[in-house]
Amino acid sequence: MVLHGHAPGLVAQIDEEIRNPTTWQQEVREVSDVPPEPSAPGQNTRLQRVAYTLERATLHFSPSWFSATMGTGITATILYQMPYQFHGLRAIAYIVYVLNLVLFTLFMIISIVRYTKWPSVLRMMLMHPTQSMFTGTIVMSLSTLINMCALSFAEKWGNGMIVFTWVLWWINAVAAIFITVSLVVLKFTRHDHTLDLISGVLLLPVVPCVVASSTGALIAEVLPPAHARLTIVASYVLLGSGLGLGILIFALFFTRLTLFKVPPDALIVTIFLPLGMLGQGGFSLLRLADALYNVTKASGKGLESLEKFTSEYNMAMSLAVRGISTPVALMIWGFALVWVLIAATSLLDLWMVSALEFNLGWWGLIFPIGTFTMCAVQLGTTLDSTAFHVIGMALSMLIVLLWLLVFLMTLYKVFMGDLFVPPVVAGTSETVPKHVTMQRRYKYKARRGRRSDEAHSSA
């Protein structure tokens, strides 16, 4: 069986799960005879056929589609911030942004309808060790929308837009922390893993915190000093939360690559995913340092209070933070540079011997390389470096070309109907259950008066 159109890390694992059902599939309790997809219309009207097609696409939708809005969103931001602008470039950036907003809204509506009509599919998705990781892409997609609000719309549209953007960022930040904590806990308690099946997808739940921190740095530039200071502090906390967990997961992924070699063709793009954490982390450090410097310059307050330290001391501290952040960001970008070369070489090595078929996972190229590009562009601004300006421009053009290619291929695959077969439906059974157990994967002594998860599952 060959499945096309899945996000990074899915196709090979899905085929294996369909052939040999894993524990998470065995937990599904089928108490309903509702078919997994609507019955195909026979000799019905065109309207009924359209309704059937839409219902099938809705059931077969999955969170991995939000990787497309992530890629589209960061492409709009890169177009807006290209080092060498020409007349009309920012208008193109706005068009891409509006496209991203439409796609994000459409995907959210589809997701809400999907989980409302088939509630058990939500639990099935959360219990899937790979597909559940893509819920992090929803938060990162929202971050890309907020970025453009902070960079352009907030100042142009006045105080109301600034407040709206700030409130939206707080919602996004809380969602990022929630996604990170909840999905890591699911990994520890509900999912089964083996080292040979570990992929870069495991980073998707923790990168939203890093992305939210960089978005906070952008918003802090347009906020009043008191609000900006609070946002900067929260952004540093988010940055530490995401980078800390990300480094641990990166080490695990590196071990998997060393022991079990590069992933197969359907999974190979996952090797680029660590770039998202690195590129966005370096960009966030640079923009937070700039925001802190500007806030301190405007108010005399930095991270410390004026009651304890003078404005001159706070200014010196902000300069010190800026001085430290720049070389650290350079080192992170250097790490990312080596990794993108390793990933590209590995992809080329596999391409020489294996046919690489397009699937939804190829969107995993756009956002990680896009964050690497944004960090290079920001380094060019911070260092006033012509070399980084040129590198940033070259990478920006590469991202735009990649985005066009992947976007057009996605449209073609959608037209061909190849992108709507999520594992949480296709790999389970012939029915969608009304109830899905979320059994713990660790051993424990059941509390008195409470049946164990095994007892509940067999009941």
Q: What is the 3-state secondary structure (H, E, C) of the chain?
A: CCCCCCCCCCHHHHHHHHHCCCHHHHCEECCCCCCCCCCCCCCCCHHHHHHHHHHHHHHCCCHHHHHHHHHHHHHHHHHHHCCCCCCCHHHHHHHHHHHHHHHHHHHHHHHHHHHHHCHHHHHHHHHCCCHHHHHHHHHHHHHHHHHHHHHHHHHHHCHHHHHHHHHHHHHHHHHHHHHHHHHHHHHHHCCCCCHHHCCHHHHCCCHHHHHHHHHHHHHHCCCCHHHHHHHHHHHHHHHHHHHHHHHHHHHHHHHHHHHHCCCCCCCHHHHHCHHHHHHHHHHHHHHHHHHHHHHHHHHCCCCCCCCCCCHHHHHHHHHHHHHHHHHHHHHHHHHHHHHHHHHHHHHHHHHCCCCCCCCHHHHHHHHHHHHHHHHHHHHHHHHCCHHHHHHHHHHHHHHHHHHHHHHHHHHHHHHHCCCCCCHHHHCCCCCCCCEECCCCCCCCCCCCCCCCHHHHHHC
Least confident of 12-16, 150-154, 155-159: 12-16
Examine residue 3 and state whether it is found in any structural domain, yes or no: no
417's tokens: 């109907």
Examine residue 4 and state whether it is found in any structural domain, yes or no: no
pLDDT at 458 over 60: no
Distance CA 346, CA 361 (A): 16
Distance CA 425, CA 33 (A): 14
CATH number at residue 138: 1.50.10.150
Examine residue 6 and state whether it is found in any structural domain, yes or no: no
Amino acid sitting at position 292:
L
Cβ contacts of residue 292 below 8 Å, gap of 6+?
Answer: 232, 302, 303, 318, 321, 322
Backbone angles phi, psi at 435, to 5 degrees: -140, 135
Examine residue 5 and state whether it is found in any structural domain, yes or no: no
Task: Give the closest residue to 17 by CA, choosing from 153, 143, 127.
Answer: 127
* Total Cβ atoms within 10 A of residue 150: 24
* pTM of the full structure: 0.85
Distance CA 295, CA 181 (A): 31
Examine residue 207 and state whether it is found in any structural domain, yes or no: yes
Examine residue 444 and state whether it is found in any structural domain, yes or no: no
* pLDDT mean across residues, the chain: 85
Task: Give the closest residue to 205 by CA, choosing from 142, 130, 133.
Answer: 133
Could you tell me which residue, 192 or 207, shows the higher pLDDT?
207
pLDDT at 2 over 50: no
pLDDT at 435 over 70: no
293's tokens: 């410097």
54 band by pLDDT with thresholds 50, 70 and 90: confident
Instruction: Give the total number of structural domains in the chain.
Output: 1
First-residue to last-residue Cα distance in the chain: 34
pLDDT in tens, 335-366: 999 999 999 999 999 999 988 888 888 999 99
Q: Exposed/middle/buried for 147, CB within 10 Å: 0-12, 13-18, 19+?
A: buried
Which residues sit opposite 28 in a β-bridge?
A: 436
Average pLDDT over every residue of 68-81? 96
Structural domain of residue 304, as residue ranges?
11-439+449-458
Q: Are strands 28-29 and 435-436 parallel, antiparallel or unpaired?
A: antiparallel
- Is residue 143 within 8 A of residue 208, CB to CB? The reply is yes
Can you say how many angstroms the Cα of residue 211 is from the centroid of all Cα atoms in its chain? 9
Examine residue 117 and state whether it is found in any structural domain, yes or no: yes
pLDDT in tens, 359-389: 888 999 999 999 999 999 999 999 999 999 9
Amino acid sitting at position 377:
V
Examine residue 211 and state whether it is found in any structural domain, yes or no: yes
174's tokens: 């809380």
Average pLDDT over every residue of 401-417? 91
As a dihedral over the C-alpha atoms of residue 175, residue 337, residue 231, residue 64, rounded to 10 degrees, the angle is -20
Average pLDDT over every residue of 207-226? 96
